[in-house]
Amino acid sequence: MSPHSVSLFSIALALFAAPATAQQAAAVIAIPPLTTPDEKATGAGSPAAVAWQASQLIASDLRTTAELVPVGPDQKDYYSYPEVTAPTFSRWRAKGAKFVLTGFVRSRPDGRLTVGCYVYDTVKGRELGRTGFVVAPEDWRRAAHKCSGIAYTAATGAPGIFDTRIAYVAESGPPGARVKRIAIMDGDGNNQSFVTAGDTIVLTPRLSPKAENLAFVSYVDGQANVRIVNLASSEQRPLVAGSGGMSFAPRFAPDGRRIVFSMQAGPNTDIYVADSSGGPAQRLTAAPGIDTDPSFSPDGARIAFESDRSGNQQIYTMAADGAGQRRISFGGGWYAAPVWSPDGEWIAFARRIPGVGSRIGVMKPDGSGEKLLTDGALDEGPSWAASSHELIFQRAGPDGRPALYRVTLAGGDARKVVTPQDASDPDWSGVVD
């Protein structure tokens, strides 16, 4: 297939050959600079400038993963336009690269740019994936993230985590009177924006699967209650009207149409489900005690949640209609904040161990195979990356100030995610369309 036919792409398109099997060790992927056909302009927003910036961003994206080690981009690795779809595999094999990503940036008559990317296995000499994107010159970052995504998927078989959004609570001010604002950024930390003004306490932002809507908890009515905001229109409304008690701990169902959450009545807190567009809430749990932090399985059939019905916080699962409630955590201490992984394989949690601290861990949905992934004193609020290979969470420092960290399922040290202010309650979206 010649590169010219990619101009037919009007929206994101990815065709995958059979993905390579999961890598044991990190594999090298060569990222030679994207090329530009017959274009002389070099100013900002020109195809040549965007090609170079996009190549650097792709390498930077892939460098944040545990599975891939990017090499490049290097100006001297330039290749011609026809070579985009006919790379010289031996050249990249000689550099130790198992994969190579090629691509191009081309201007269109309407002023926008076409960005195309291809991923190849250098050993088998086979294409593993491709994507094409037509973007305004200023939106080149998203096209680059899509290219990173096909490289990641080709190497691991898992969805890429680059064209995603992260919602969190930005914090400032003294400890007793923190100013909290809902903030959203791209998966790579760019494009920071605020959703709320900071005039009232807000907690636990939760993005809908495609990051179109956001559920969060606000004290705007004097007590904690779940609100829903449409991120395009900024239209905002309460999830349940006039419940009396507080409502909190919202999370979208995988279809984005329902929300599970907690509602408190007197000393009791139970789990409810409601349409995200409004309507009455249906009660799912009725045990005396605090049932909270519900999270749907990716097929929408089951819900994991925490309950202190046994005496302290433990993790339970149940069917989506509340049937068959069953405890799955039995280690020492408290287990809180379960979150089902997008691939359905794991439930992440925060485990409080007296005298040790609060750690992030994972277990299988039947409670087996528990492993702890972090070693902070006060880690909580895990949220999965779309890949199901990584988690973002909140870690409080010795001074109590929280920051966001990422840790991979494979283990290793947690890495700090840079944010302009202190940050808590992270929530990582699925891949944005």
Question: Under the criterion CB under 8 A, does residue 287 sit at the interface with another protein?
Answer: no
Stretch that binds another protein, among 45-53, 88-96, 123-131, 200-208 (CB under 8 A): 200-208
Choose which of 269, 329, 374, 387 interacts with another protein (CB under 8 A).
269
CB of 317 to another protein, least distance (A): 17
N-to-C CA span, the chain: 25
Q: By CB under 8 A, is residue 201 in contact with another protein?
A: yes
Residue pair 228/249 in contact (Cβ under 8 Å)? The answer is no
Piece of 50-58, 113-121, 143-151, 329-337 that binds another protein (CB under 8 A): 329-337
- The distance of closest approach from Cβ of residue 224 to another protein in the complex, given in angstroms and rounded to an integer, is 6
* Beta carbons within 10 angstroms of residue 50's beta carbon: 25
Q: Give the nearest distance from C-beta 357 to another protein in angstroms.
A: 9
Instruction: Decide whether 350 or 431 has the Cβ nearer to another protein.
Output: 350
CB atoms within 10 A of CB 311: 7
- Among positions 92, 104, 168, 334, the unique one binding another protein when judged by CB under 8 A: 334
| Cβ–Cβ < 8 Å for 132, 44 | no
Cβ proximity to another protein: between 16 and 219 the closer is 219
Q: How far is the CB of 266 from another protein (least distance, A)?
A: 6
Query: Per-residue string for binding with another protein, 346-365, x by CB under 8 A?
Result: ----x-x-----x-------
Single out the residue of 121, 163, 188, 380 in contact with another protein (rule: CB under 8 A).
380
Q: Is 292 in the site for another protein (CB under 8 A)?
A: yes
Residue 184 CA to residue 222 CA, distance in Å, equals 24
Q: How many residues bind another protein (CB under 8 A)?
A: 43
Site for another protein contains 309 (CB under 8 A): no
Stretch that binds another protein, among 18-26, 140-148, 372-380, 405-413 (CB under 8 A): 372-380
The minimum distance between CB 106 and another protein, in angstroms, equals 48
17/11 Cα distance (integer angstroms): 19
Q: Which of 109, 175, 242, 280 binds another protein (CB under 8 A)?
A: 175
Classify strands 27-30 and 68-71 as parallel, antiparallel or unpaired: parallel
What is the 3 state secondary structure string of the chain?
CCHHHHHHCCCCEEEECCCCCCCCCCEEEECCCCECCCCCCCCCCCHHHHHHHHHHHHHHHHHCCCCEEEECCCHHHCCCHHHHHCCCHHHHHCCCCCEEEEEEEEECCCCCEEEEEEEEECCCCEEEEEEEEEECHHHHHHHHHHHHHHHHHHHHCCCCCCCCEEEEEEEECCHHHCEEEEEEEECCCCCCEECCCCCCCEEEEEECCCCCEEEEEECCCCCCEEEEEECCCCCEEECCCCCCCCEEEEEECCCCCEEEEEEEECCEEEEEEEECCCCCCEECCCCCCEEEEEEECCCCCEEEEEECCCCCCEEEEEECCCCCCEECCCCCCEEEEEEECCCCCCEEEEEEECCCEEEEEEECCCCCCCEECCCCCEEEEEEECCCCCEEEEEEECCCCCEEEEEEECCCCCCEEECCCCEEEEEEECCCCC
Residue 52 vs 334, nearer CB to another protein = 334
Examine residue 197 and tell whether it contacts another protein (CB under 8 A): no
Q: Which stretch binds another protein (CB under 8 A): 59-67, 133-141, 197-205, 367-375?
A: 197-205
Q: How far is the CB of 32 from another protein (least distance, A)?
A: 45
Provide the minimum distance between the beta carbon of 345 and another protein in the complex, in angstroms, as a whole number. 23
Nearer to another protein, 109 or 267 (CB): 267
| Shortest separation between residue 380's beta carbon and another protein, angstroms | 5
With CB under 8 A as the contact rule, the residue among 113, 183, 249, 403 that binds another protein is: 249
* Token pair recorded at residue 252: 């979208």
Burial of 245 (0-12, 13-18, 19+ CB in 10 A): middle
Q: Which member of 4, 91, 93, 178 binds another protein (CB under 8 A)? A: 178
- Binding of another protein by 200 (CB under 8 A): no
- Contact region for another protein (CB under 8 A) — 23-31, 134-142, 143-151, 260-268? 260-268
Sites for another protein among residues 203-242 (CB under 8 A)? 203-204, 222-224
243 binding another protein? (CB under 8 A): no
Which residue ranges make up the site for another protein (CB under 8 A)? 175-178, 180, 201, 203-204, 222-224, 245-246, 248-249, 262, 264, 266-267, 269, 290, 292-293, 306, 308, 312-313, 334, 336-337, 350, 352, 358, 377-378, 380-381, 396, 398-400, 424-425
